[in-house]
Amino acid sequence: MKLNLFKAKIMQKSQLSLFFIFTMLISVIANPIIALAADEDYTIESLYLSIRPEYDQPADWVDKDVPAVLVVNQLVITNNTDQPITTISYPAPIDEPNFHIFATGKLQSQGQYWPAPHVLSEGQVHIDLRDFPINPDEDYTLVVQYYYNPFTIDGVKKSFTFEYAPEFTVKEVLMNVVIPQAAKNVRIEPVKYALEDVKEINVNKDNPISVNVMYDKADNRPTNQPLNQGSKDEQGDGNTDMLFILFVALLLIIVIIFIFSQKDKSNSKQSNKQKPKKADSQQLNSKKAKPSNQKLKEQQSEEQKDLRKKLLTGEIDEKTYHEQMKKLNNK
């Protein structure tokens, strides 16, 4: 009896242990599935990531003598749900010195975007997309641009490390590093980032991007002038640029027309000088004809003299003289 009771207790404990192990296995399996479901609300198809030290500064930067690194993020996102996505969080070094958001919003066209409000917390930029939501099955391009000052400076030597290790997975990242034109003795590690745009696949916290940038530069002047904060849709700047281009093109056309018109006038004047007028032509012909008439008159005068001599010497009679004179005068 005691033996059966002991066996029953052992079996009961074994069942409880098996249940506990089964429950743990279910929880371990279920957690990744839940996380995967959350990630699958949207997919980041691609990211253009550009790291630009001392490229420019925002107009309200903390100090023009403090160097800044501009980081450009341009994400292509696909909404996998049947509902609009109205908020999204994106990692950024918000705790780094002088961190400054320059742009967040939906890309309209290259260099132009529709701004979206944002807040910063827990190492992320939380973006409110209610005005421009990511609609189902839409290829949506999100812009996130920020400045910060990660530099370690030792005299003319400047260096910093940039790391991109998002919680989500980015299928494809196209990354480049834009070094200041005035920089010397540039060193970039890994060196592949110094040569051209580099494509990385499936980037996440387990497969991060990390790059060290080092160069010599005595001053802190950026390569380009400070930029103004974006307006509602930044169409104004694009339109201004287009109007300026059209104005320059129109001005060039006017200058070309003026040059050709002056050239035509010059050719016309030269042609008029070279081509004699009709009256002048007639006078010239008259002048050319005049020596012939004079010669003819002189010839007639000589013949008249001969006839006169013949009349006086009796070689011809008066009647013949008058007939011959009449013929000469009618020539």
Residue (of 109, 104, 102, 101) closest to 131 by Cα position: 104
Confidence of residue 44 (pLDDT cuts 50, 70, 90): very high
Per-chain mean pLDDT for the chain: 79
Q: pLDDT digit string (tens) for 230-246?
A: 444 444 444 445 666 77
C-alpha separations of 82 from 38, 78, 232 in Å: 14, 11, 28
Residue (of 216, 165, 214) closest to 193 by Cα position: 214
Report the amino acid identity of residue 46. Answer: S
What was the pLDDT predicted at 310?
Answer: 73
d(CA 16, CA 11): 9
Three-class SS of residue 130? coil
Report the amino acid identity of residue 56. Answer: D
d(CA 142, CA 132): 10
Please state, as a whole number, how many other Cβ atoms lie within 10 Å of the Cβ of residue 290.
Answer: 10
Buried b (16+ CB within 10 A) or exposed e, 15-44: eeeeeeeeeeeeeeeeeeeeeeeeeeebeb
Helices (H), the chain: 2-39, 192-195, 235-274, 278-313, 318-329
What was the pLDDT predicted at 262?
Answer: 75
Could you give phi then psi for residue 127, rounded to 5 degrees?
-110, 130
Beta bridge partners of 209: 164
Please give the model's pTM, rounded to 2 decimal places: 0.59
Q: pLDDT digit string (tens) for 47-70?
A: 999 999 999 999 889 898 999 999
Q: Is the peptide bond before 84 cis (omega within 30 degrees of 0)?
A: no
Residues 6+ apart with CB under 8 A from 329: 300
Residue pair 157/150 in contact (Cβ under 8 Å)? The answer is no
Q: pLDDT digit string (tens) for 170-219?
A: 999 999 999 999 999 999 999 999 878 999 999 999 999 999 999 999 99
Residue pair 200/176 in contact (Cβ under 8 Å)? The answer is no
What is the DSSP-derived secondary structure letter of residue 28? H
Residue pair 217/156 in contact (Cβ under 8 Å)? The answer is yes
* Per-position DSSP letters for 71-84, written without gaps between them: EEEEEEEEE-SSS-
Q: pLDDT digit string (tens) for 84-97?
A: 999 999 999 999 99
Residue scoring higher pLDDT (70 or 277): 70
270 is written with which tokens?
């030269």
What was the pLDDT predicted at 260?
Answer: 74
Q: pLDDT digit string (tens) for 110-131?
A: 778 999 999 999 999 999 999 9
192 is written with which tokens?
């592949």
